């Protein structure tokens, strides 16, 4: 994630125009060597020996918190106390308590320190367009939200990492992936999830091989394990599903999985309204499916909008129509929006701050409690 | 539904070879005129004045029950008692009690009377192929079942009909659509749903206009209402979602809706296993999406199998490769399989009898109870 | 093809209402046994010992010519002379001379004998809808027609049959497949192809194994050859491409192939106009892709119209929305339109007669001549 | 195009590791102001007052020629003479003579000066993968190449620019778009186009409004014209189609258009071989469709490979699986491959030099001559 963030800050200046020109001032990581190598490669002015040095550096205006989940609260709160703006990776904290502390710290921050949470998908042009259509009333009253975020790198052969340790990660697919789609549902509809109406957690793999440092990273933190390797307990959910109700009465379902074979990064959402529907799949991030129910029945269809027109959110900053965008563009656009805000302007699309992200975390927490209450019904009991 | 059934029995003889040659012997409906017109058009030998006459007619070997849901139990049980084979439309009954009575009647039937339930999707070539792949172990251990059956004809402007009256229909989208996907999930996996782990029912429309007999049917029983028309309460669910667990540990979700704008007949199911995945959408019924996770990563992909090869289930009876099938083929193949069974043979794919359909109904009932228990968690209570 | 035609005549009566009720009166084929078996199965009143007896039978009003291509002219002309209406399979004749003779015979027919050619794709709802949109001016001035009809059953292992013998079939993929898309292009645009501007013929396979009568038919006339079998020359094109210009200035390309691996029945056409575009692929025959360029750029997209609404051509006669159609529906709708015409009415969509089909054949012939003139340019001659 | 090139050189260093670290040394454009602004923004060390100064600058090792087509030859040849490496945008020249001169200059270049042509699509992971599969023999003998590159920005309302002036651009869609797909066909198959067998050129729009400098660029050089504006002749083709034959006997078709409504950047290619087929559409650049005809018929299908695995070409340098790539990645990968070559290494996929690009230009020229010879056949002449 460090690379994608550094890239975002650098590229934002090239594709967007704004008053404040961000420089990558200081980088810190667990290993000084890593930090200094990173600094050289990505043009960071300085490598700090530790994160607490970094947050005290007067050159630093904004701290980009991009560390394992269990450190989010600690680093963010300290940075806020040091008077820095903070942009933190999701999920907010590993527990609801941590998240609440972070939201409180944001509310109490002095000197106008701002907080941001990297819900990057908000700036995918197709997702922003979903929001625009809904906010303009094109879908009418919303009836259904159907969301799942499916990956498949959590297979049994994948080696252990901090992501499988509940103490370091908080949760598994739930915090990692459901956090994204809960935020997206709230973002695009402008509505709130008021009730969780059923939830189910699944853990398919209970221990994983430990891989030595020399092994090669295979992407997404997934590392293949070796035979006969030492094994360590996996203590997070592999999949998590829940049902919910929105304030306006719509019904919603959310599902996250790291074991949905064939799905690499299927962040999918369909929303059905009285007047229209939208459908999105990140694996085809340049496309939004749009159904306009006000057209004559003969002409209605799922319209595959290729979101590369100048009239689509963020697109005008990049390439001509038909020249598709990639994963990193969302981060670039978010970095640009943060810069715009810090320079006193408005973001092109709303940004999530810690208080906003805390609401997302409340939903995740309600789902966890609901899943553990086990309101189950045996089907053969009838 | 009468047309699609009559067509199935007629066409089965032309496309399949079997010992017993079914004739459409007697037809009965609520209106004698309707019955006799139907008989003339579809080549039925006789029109009976009432269904109880029909079931006593010695010419009748099998009674095809294709009437509003609230009559399923009454007619089917009477027919079984009269020693007839019975093929009943789904859902089995409007209540779990009715369904249990039907299953009991089937178990107690004399003279080897057989029962069948029209879960037609089992005979869609792509669905049968899903089952074959799973039964051959090609998906390995199943982790996920993700099913929804979405339609959109239940919009506010649709007129009242028996389908919106809980006394006549039992339920709305739940019994009508979830029954199909619960059966499909059980059919293709060969596994049972043992727990419902959360459920949610939604009713968006509470009354509908009553349309006079002269109005024109717009398909699916959907009739547009007129302004100022008399209105009647709609007493069934418009959407119904639930989460479940399979005996083998897989997690499953089911959703039915009549208000999912843009979805006409989206009977969709995705199943993820350790070794592969399958995905189906009835709106593209000739296609099965298949992911083989045992191929080299470089070549893995969702493979769009066009299920029109002679090696695909039921296909050899119809047209050459690439000459796609329509909705009615499932019914034709099911009529053929019923004939095969009655002639002492085996169906090409397993058929559901009343006892099997009762298991599906138990799942639906568990979901209803679960939804009404309201194990809800407010998200802002944290 | 006999089955698909017989099925069409039978089903037309059940799904359409019209004055004249067709009965399958007489059937004839090369083998009396085949004829009488066919008659029993499909409810044909009588089996004739030869086609010339059939066309003289006073019970016969219309002769459905569904024999190998080389017999089309002979049988059709004789039937017209006997005062019968004729519905002939495509292509019209094996040579342009035969086709001209047929067209002349149709023009000279007495007693109002009508002719029809089985260009079945005209009655695919999506194809009819393309025509409607174009005729209503929704595409504006047409610029591009891009058509290909690709199959892959012509692989080297496929056994010899009459389809590979130029004397019996006239040509290979060209007459078989290009005839369909040339007719479709003319039908949907209402425009004529005035120039062929380049053509290319390819024959990849030069001899094929001969299969004995006992071998099993594998669909589309494709039979796998046995090792060591006797071999016979294949004398038709395996693929044929040509470029053309329409009277209104649009440019067009046509391609037919029996060796386009992975394409089973990919009858595909895209038409681009000033105001919109349409796109069709028979492998997804229930869908029409429609681009409306008059919408705001932000909302433009390829709209996947599921052609199963009552407002779509022919659909109202069959099933409710979302209940998809199959290959045979086109033939059923064509049989219904022929009946409508013979009863003095109008077809729902224009039918091709022999004169119309002759224009299609002129285009195919111009392409053959063009291909043989070899106006080729070596690329390294520059 | 300047932005995309500058971005490529900058990003290549961040995502690839190689010995030589390119710096953007000098930039030149027609307007000194533009040059210096560009230099500041993109971190170019120096802005030159003219291109001939730039090519003489001793700091410059490689000249990236990214100017209107009519200047390609002049600048490239001068740069080669100055002993610089040259990377030139496509098409090579505006005439075959220019292209030949460039190829000759490359052959005669001293001091090991290398040439490169920006056929960027070669480095799209899906296109590289097509090549790999073909080179490994997975498609067997190639039968068909079907290529079109369709855009729609050339509509009547688009204002005049150098791209519509044959003196400045050489040709329209043909040189701009067919050059890409001719190169791609040669690249992925490793085969040569030996004959053009028919060609057709179309010009739909004959004059366009002239837009003043103040107007806003709408992408792809497309600018909307104002009513009453001065008009200037458009002298290039809007669409260009041709048929061709490969050395190994495969048949091929190529089509380029700027008026194919609904297609934004549809660079599409399908290749059918004896053992398999591949299909690509740049609008879904992260996907390759792959048909493996050696699988059992029951399991064959078009497999949608999401080209984001570490085992896919170039992917390992960027993001984890499922995190899709955008347009610019091809340029970044090409810049990296050029650097690798200049540092004495090998490119990951073959690069086109001037001699290679000259072969592509010969094909384009043969098509132009063929189109102008007008070997046309009137269809009603028969």
Query: Could you tell me which residues are beta bridge partners of residue A200?
Result: A241
Residues C80 and C223 in one domain: no
Confidence of residue B343 (pLDDT cuts 50, 70, 90): very high
Question: For residue D201, what are the β-bridge partners?
Answer: D240
Mean of pLDDT values over A370-374: 89
Domain presence at residue C235: yes
Q: What confidence tens digit (pLDDT) does each residue in A287-302 have?
A: 999 999 999 999 999 9
User: What average pLDDT does the segment B160-180 reach?
Assistant: 95
- The verdict on D311 touching B (C-beta cutoff 8 Å) is yes
**Which chains touch D (3+ CB pairs under 8 A)?**
A, B, C
Distances (CA, A) of C107 to C92, C234, C345, D111: 15, 35, 20, 78
| Count of domains forming chain B | 2
DSSP 8-state assignment for residue A50: S
Whether the pLDDT of residue C32 is over 60: the answer is yes
Is D217 a domain residue?
A: yes
Q: Do A14 and D327 touch (CB under 8 A)?
A: no
Q: What is the DSSP string of C175-191?
A: IIIIHHHHHHHHHHH--
- Crossing angle for the helix pair D72-81 and D96-108, to the nearest 10 degrees: 10
Rounded mean pLDDT of A98-110? Answer: 96
Read off the CATH number of the domain in which A32 is found.
3.40.50.720
Both structure tokens of B323: 């000459």
Q: Is D249 left (phi over 0), alpha (psi -120 to 50) or beta?
A: left
Residue of D nearest to A17 (CA): D41
Closest CA in chain B for residue C284: B284
Shortest distance between the Cα of B123 and any Cα of chain D, in A, equals 16
Which residues does chain B have within 8 Å of residue A179's beta carbon, measured at their own beta carbons? none
What per-residue confidence (pLDDT) applies to C222?
Answer: 53
- Give a yes or no: residue D329 inside a domain: no
pLDDT for position B359: 97
- Residues B191 and B261 placed together within one structural domain of the fold: yes
Q: What per-residue confidence (pLDDT) applies to A22?
A: 80
Element (H, E) at B134: helix B125-135
Query: Residue D142: inside a domain, yes or no?
Result: yes
Count, in order, helices (H) and strands (E) of chain D.
11, 16
CB-based burial, A57-78: b 16+ in 10 Å, e otherwise:
beebebbbbbbbbbbbbbbbbb
Cβ C314 vs Cβ C348: under 8 Å? yes
- Same domain, yes or no: B135 and B204: yes
Quote the pLDDT of residue A218: 42
Query: How far C302 CA lies from chain A's nearest CA (Å)?
Result: 5
pTM exceeding the 0.80 threshold for the entire prediction: yes
B305 touches D at CB < 8 Å: yes
In tens, the pLDDT along A328-354 reads: 999 999 999 999 999 999 999 999 999
Is the residue at C332 inside a domain? no
CA distance D84 to chain A (A): 28
CA pair distance C4, C27, nearest whole angstrom: 14
In this predicted structure, the answer to whether residue D20 has a pLDDT above a threshold of 80 is no
Provide the mean pLDDT of chain C.
93
Query: Are C179 and C236 found together in one domain?
Result: yes
Comparing A29-43, B188-202, B233-247, C136-150, the range with the smallest average pLDDT is: A29-43
Percentage of residues in chain B having pLDDT higher than 90: 85
- The 3-state DSSP class for residue C198 equals strand
Inter-chain CB proximity A259 and B366 less than 8 Å:
no
**pLDDT reading at B334 higher than 70:** yes
Confidence of residue D224 (pLDDT cuts 50, 70, 90): low
Helix axes A96-108, A72-81, angle to 10 degrees: 10
Interchain CB contact of B310 with C (< 8 Å): yes
Picking from C120, C154, C175, the residue at the C-terminal end of a domain is C120
Residue D215 has pLDDT above 50, yes or no: no
> What pLDDT score was predicted for residue D100?
97
Average pLDDT of the residues in B181-209: 97
At residue B217 the predicted structure's pLDDT band, cuts being 50, 70 and 90, is very low
Please choose, from the candidates D326, D7, D266, the residue with its C-alpha nearest in 3D space to the C-alpha of residue A325: D326
B113 and B237 in one domain? Answer: no
* C45 and C194 belong to one structural domain: no
Q: Do B14 and C41 touch (CB under 8 A)?
A: yes
Residues of chain A contacting residue B261, judged by C-beta atoms under 8 Å apart: 143, 272-277, 291, 293
For residues A139 and A247, the answer to whether their CB atoms sit within 8 Å is no
| Residues D143 and D9 placed together within one structural domain of the fold | no
Residue C152 to residue C157: CA distance in whole angstroms: 11
Mean pLDDT of B316-323: 94
Band (A39; pLDDT cuts 50, 70, 90): very high
Among residues C120, C149, C168, the one where a domain terminates is C120
State the average pLDDT over residues B40-63. Answer: 92
pLDDT greater than 50 at residue B325: yes
The reply to whether A112 and A152 lie within a common domain is no
Q: Which helix (H) or strand (E) holds D145?
A: strand D142-150
Using DSSP bridges, classify how beta strands C193-202 and C276-281 pair: parallel, antiparallel or unpaired.
unpaired
We report the CATH number of the domain holding residue A158 as 3.30.360.10
Distance CA C232, CA D371 (A): 39
**8 Å CB contact of B243 and A200:** yes
More confident residue, D382 or C233: C233
Q: Given this model, what pLDDT does residue B222 score?
A: 53
pLDDT(A259) > 90? yes
Kindly report, residue by residue over A75-91, the tens digit of the pLDDT. Answer: 999 999 999 999 999 99
More confident residue, C373 or A285: A285
Locate B338 and state its tokens.
């019923």
Residues A170 and A81 in one domain: no
pLDDT above 90 as % of chain D: 85
Q: What is the pLDDT of residue A216?
A: 44
Q: What percent of chain A has pLDDT over 70?
A: 95
Task: Say what the pLDDT of residue B227 is.
Answer: 59
pLDDT value, residue A373: 87
Which tokens belong to A136? 């303009």
Instruction: State which residue of chain A sits closest to C278, comparing Cα positions.
Output: A299
Task: List Cα–Cα distances, A351 to A335, A336, C55, D32, in angstroms.
Answer: 11, 11, 79, 39
Domain ends where: B100, B120, B140?
B120
| Nearest neighbour of C219 by CB, restricted to B263, B321, B326 | B321
Q: Which two tokens stand for residue B226?
A: 């007129």
Mean of per-residue pLDDT scores for chain A: 93
Torsion angle (degrees, nearest 10) of CA D147, D150, D156, D157: -160
Q: How many other CB atoms sit within 10 Å of the CB of residue C343?
A: 12
List beta partners, residue A279.
A270, A289
B residues 110-129 lying closer than 8 A (beta carbon) to D: 129
How many angstroms away from the CA of C52 is the closest CA of chain A?
A: 46
Report yes or no on B336 lying in a domain: no
Query: What number is the average pLDDT over the span C34-43?
Result: 91
The predicted model gives B342-362 an average pLDDT of: 96
Contacts B367 to A, Cβ<8 Å: 377
Tell me how far CA of residue C326 lies from CA of A220, C200, C330, in angstroms.
44, 33, 8
Residue D381 reports pLDDT greater than 70: yes
Q: What is the pLDDT of residues B255-304, one digit of tens each?
A: 999 999 999 999 999 999 999 999 999 999 999 999 999 999 999 999 99
Answer whether B299 touches D (CB < 8 Å): yes
**Given its phi and psi angles, is residue B111 left (phi above 0), alpha (psi -120 to 50 degrees) or beta?**
left
Tell which residue, B336, A38, A229, C129, has the closest CA to residue D14.
Answer: A38
Residue A45 and residue A115 share a domain: yes
Query: Where are any strands of DSSP class E within chain A?
Result: 26-27, 46-47, 62-65, 85-88, 115-117, 142-150, 193-202, 207-209, 231-233, 239-246, 251-257, 266-273, 276-281, 287-292, 302-306, 377-378
Q: Give the distance from CA B245 to its chain's centroid.
A: 21
Instruction: Identify all chain C residues contacting B42, using CB atoms and an 8 Å cutoff.
Output: 14
**Which one, of A260, A198, A194, lies nearest residue B242 by Cα?**
A198
* Domain contains D338: no
ipTM for the complex shown: 0.94
Q: Give contacts of B312 with chain D, Cβ < 8 Å.
A: 298
How is B239-267 classified by DSSP, letter by letter? EEEEEEEETTS-EEEEEEES--TT-SSEE
Residue A140: left if φ>0, alpha if ψ -120 to 50, beta else—which one?
A: left
Strand pairing category for B62-65 and B85-88? parallel
Res B370 pLDDT > 60:
yes
The runs of H, that is alpha helices, within D29-95 are 32-42, 51-54, 72-81
CA distances to A119, A171, A198 from A177, rounded to whole Å, are 11, 10, 18
Same domain, D92 and D150: no
B334 part of a folded domain = no
What is the rounded average pLDDT of the residues B35-39? 92
CB B184 within 8 A of CB A356: no
**Closest to B152 (Cα-Cα) out of C315, A301, A255, A267:** A301
Strand partners, B244: B196, B252
**Which of the four pLDDT bands, split at 50, 70 and 90, describes residue C275?**
very high
Domain that holds residue A149: 121-321+354-368
Is D298–B312 a contact, with Cβ atoms under 8 angstroms apart?
yes
A210-236 pLDDT per residue, tens: 986 544 444 444 556 555 679 999 999
Rounded to an integer, the average pLDDT of D97-116 is 95
Does the pLDDT of residue D176 top 70, yes or no?
A: yes
Question: What's the mean pLDDT when you consider all of chain D?
Answer: 93
pLDDT band at residue D2 using 50, 70 and 90 as cut-offs: confident
Q: Are C104 and C60 in the same domain?
A: yes
| pLDDT at res. D216 | 44
A262 interfaces chain D, CB cutoff of 8 Å = no
pLDDT for B219: 41
Q: Hey, are the CB atoms on D274 and C293 less than 8 Å from each other?
A: no
Q: Write out pLDDT tens, residues C162-203.
A: 999 999 999 999 999 999 999 999 999 999 999 999 999 999
Cα A148 to Cα B145: distance, rounded to the nearest angstrom: 13
Nearest to A308 among D14, D264, D329 (CB): D264
């Amino acid at each position: 994630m460090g690379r994608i963030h550094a890239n975002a800050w650098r590229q934002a200046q090239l594709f967007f125009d704004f008053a404040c020109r961000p420089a990558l001032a200081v980088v810190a990581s667990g290993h000084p060597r890593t930090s200094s190598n990173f600094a050289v490669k990505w043009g960071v002015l300085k490598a700090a020996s530790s994160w607490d040095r970094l947050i005290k550096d007067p050159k630093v205006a904004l701290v980009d918190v991009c560390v394992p989940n269990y450190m989010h609260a600690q680093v963010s709160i300290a940075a806020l106390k040091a008077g820095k703006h903070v942009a933190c990776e999701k999920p907010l904290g590993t527990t609801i308590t941590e998240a609440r502390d972070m939201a409180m710290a944001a509310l109490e921050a002095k000197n106008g320190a701002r907080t941001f949470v990297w819900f990057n998908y908000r700036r995918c042009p197709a997702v922003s367009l979903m929001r625009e259509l809904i906010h303009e009333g094109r879908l009418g009253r919303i009836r259904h939200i159907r969301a799942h975020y499916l990956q498949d790198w959590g297979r049994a052969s994948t080696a252990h990492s901090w992501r499988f340790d509940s103490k370091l990660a908080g949760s598994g697919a739930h915090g990692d992936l459901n956090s994204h789609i809960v935020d997206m549902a709230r973002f695009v509809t402008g509505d709130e999830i008021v009730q969780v109406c059923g939830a189910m957690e699944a853990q398919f793999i209970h221990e994983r091989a430990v891989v030595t440092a020399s092994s090669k990273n295979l992407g997404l933190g997934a590392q293949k394990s070796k035979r006969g390797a030492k094994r360590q307990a996996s203590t997070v959910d592999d999949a998590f599903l829940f049902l919910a109700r929105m304030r306006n009465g719509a019904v919603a379902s959310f599902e996250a999985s790291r074991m949905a074979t064939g799905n690499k990064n299927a962040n999918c959402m369909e929303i059905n309204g009285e007047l229209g529907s939208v459908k999105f799949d990140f694996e085809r991030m340049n496309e939004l499916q749009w159904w306009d129910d006000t057209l004559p029945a003969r002409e209605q269809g799922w319209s595959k909008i290729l979101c590369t027109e100048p009239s689509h959110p963020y697109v005008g900053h990049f390439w001509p129509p038909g020249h598709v965008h990639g994963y990193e563009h969302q981060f670039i656009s978010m970095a640009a929006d943060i810069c715009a805000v810090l320079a006193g302007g408005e973001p092109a699309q709303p940004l999530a701050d810690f208080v906003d992200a805390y609401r997302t975390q409340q939903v995740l927490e309600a789902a966890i409690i609901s899943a553990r209450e086990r309101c189950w019904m045996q089907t053969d009991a009838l």
